[in-house]
Structure 1
Amino acid sequence: MGSLNSSASVVADAITHPVTVQVINQGPGIWGNVATGLITAGAAIGAVMLTHKFTLRREKSASEEKQQRERYFIATELVFLLEQFAEVCASVARDNGFEHEHAFAPSHPLPELDYAAVTGDWRTLPVRLMYQLRELPVLKSESDRTIDAADFIGPEYDEFFEARQYEYTRLGLKAVILARRLRKLTGFPDSRLNATPWSAQRVLWEEWRRERKRRSVQALLHARALATFEVKNDMRRKAAGDASDSGEKV
């Protein structure tokens, strides 16, 4: 009985609640007001979301434009630095020296490659390209050590000049290729380094092919000489063995 009274009390409270009274008084029309409120709230939330989306898109676009400008800037610095380096490499690639005080001296000094003057943001470049650019000065140091280790023996100092020509032909071509990739990345015009037969790029490729052919022939001759030397050694060992056997029989 107590439970029944309690339920009746709850029902009575619900019926007498102001909202319930308003629903009863206004009838079905109140649901229109509720729907209007929901639509208004939904529109407000949607507007906030769209505003946030457009803000993010605008910020992303501004960030991409800034990155592109930075990339153009550092690419401009690097392209001309690399191409100037390649120009001097082409001169070294054809440098057979000149006679000076009864010896041959280089006509062109070795070029320098220093990125210290580059002020652009390296992080705007693709990782692989940035790595290859940073690697080039290291390769140059290795080439310089190779040249220093070459024999400087007269009268024409062939080994020394061949080492200079080969190493800086290789470095010059690497610089040309990197500059070309930077131009392609940023949409810059093509280089003028291959515009004429005596342009740096053509000179470097010509010297590279010539030097590779020379080294191939040199390697073949060395292999033949080594094979001949081994055959002669085998013959000497065999002759010595035969002589030893003859002595034992006597």
Structure 2
Amino acid sequence: MADGISWVPLYSALAGGVLTGGVALLVSKLNHHYTLDREAKAAAEKRQAELYFISTELVFRLERFAQGCADVVNDEGQEDEQGYTRTTTSAESFSSDDIAGDWRVLPATILYRIRELTVLIPEANRYIRVINEWDNPPDWQMTFRERRYQYSRLGMRAVLLAKRLRRLNHMPSSRLDASRWSAQHVLWQQWRKERKFRARMAREVPDFDL
């Protein structure tokens, strides 16, 4: 019995050591987990803040560009002193190159469409110039029609991109579609009208380019 009793302190010491070591390991793992969790949360908050900042800059630039496109669509021209019809509104420029921040926070499809817009604008102007070379003065009807069509397309692209960014960041809705006279309505109506015309022309004239 005495021998048995002599082992009790040893068992207690071993059990206490194992328990202490296990608690220490558990505490260490929990601290590591919480540290990683805090870091991940901080990174997510930073990413969201970066996304919101870049999106805010882009939304207002896209919507300002869309409004400029609507002004182009509404441009009926004005006669000059020689009786030639001239444009009264210049197309709004669009650039996003000076917006600072980590653009990788944007969804890939939105990033692509924004970059694509900077290529489509000069392409649209090239189409307009080609039509103008074949058009007849003094009214330049074909040129004005092509101009309205190209800028209705560009404007609608900008509107849709701005809407996607607003939804992505839970921003308030845009005022571009507040009424039938708003930019979105003007652009959409012109685009639909021209697409119907071009579809009809494509059926009647096989070589007509949509």
Q: Normalized against structure 1, the TM-score is what?
A: 0.77
- Are 1:119 and 2:100 matched, yes or no? yes
Cα drift, residue 24 of structure 1: 7.9
Aligned 8 A contact 1:94 1:207 in 2: no
2-side partners of 1:55 and 1:65: how far apart?
15
Structure 1 unaligned residues grouped into runs of 5+: 1-22, 226-250
More helix by share: 1
Match of 1:154 in 2: 137
2-side partners of 1:75 and 1:189: how far apart?
13
**Superimposed CA distance per residue, residues 168-199 of structure 1 (whole angstroms, 9 cap, x where no aligned partner):** 10000000000000000000011110101100
Bigger mean CA offset, 135-144 vs 24-33 = 24-33
Letter in 2 for 1:70: E
Residues 43-192 of structure 1 correspond to what in structure 2 (within 5 A)?
A: 43-100=23-80, 101-150=82-131, 151-192=134-175
2-side partners of 1:84 and 1:224: how far apart?
36
2-side partners of 1:224 and 1:132: how far apart?
29
- Are 1:218 and 2:201 matched, yes or no? yes
2-side partners of 1:224 and 1:148: how far apart?
20
Cα drift, residue 25 of structure 1: 8.1
Letter in 1 for 2:30: L
Aligned 8 A contact 1:90 1:172 in 2: yes
SS in 1 for 2:7: helix
Q: Deviating runs (4+, > 4 A) in structure 1?
A: none
**Superimposed CA distance per residue, residues 215-239 of structure 1 (whole angstroms, 9 cap, x where no aligned partner):** 12222332499xxxxxxxxxxxxxx
- The structure whose Rg is larger is 1
Q: Normalized against structure 2, the TM-score is what?
A: 0.91
Cα drift, residue 118 of structure 1: 1.5
SS in 1 for 2:139: coil
Structure 2 unaligned residues grouped into runs of 5+: none
Q: What percent identity do the matched residue pairs reach?
A: 41
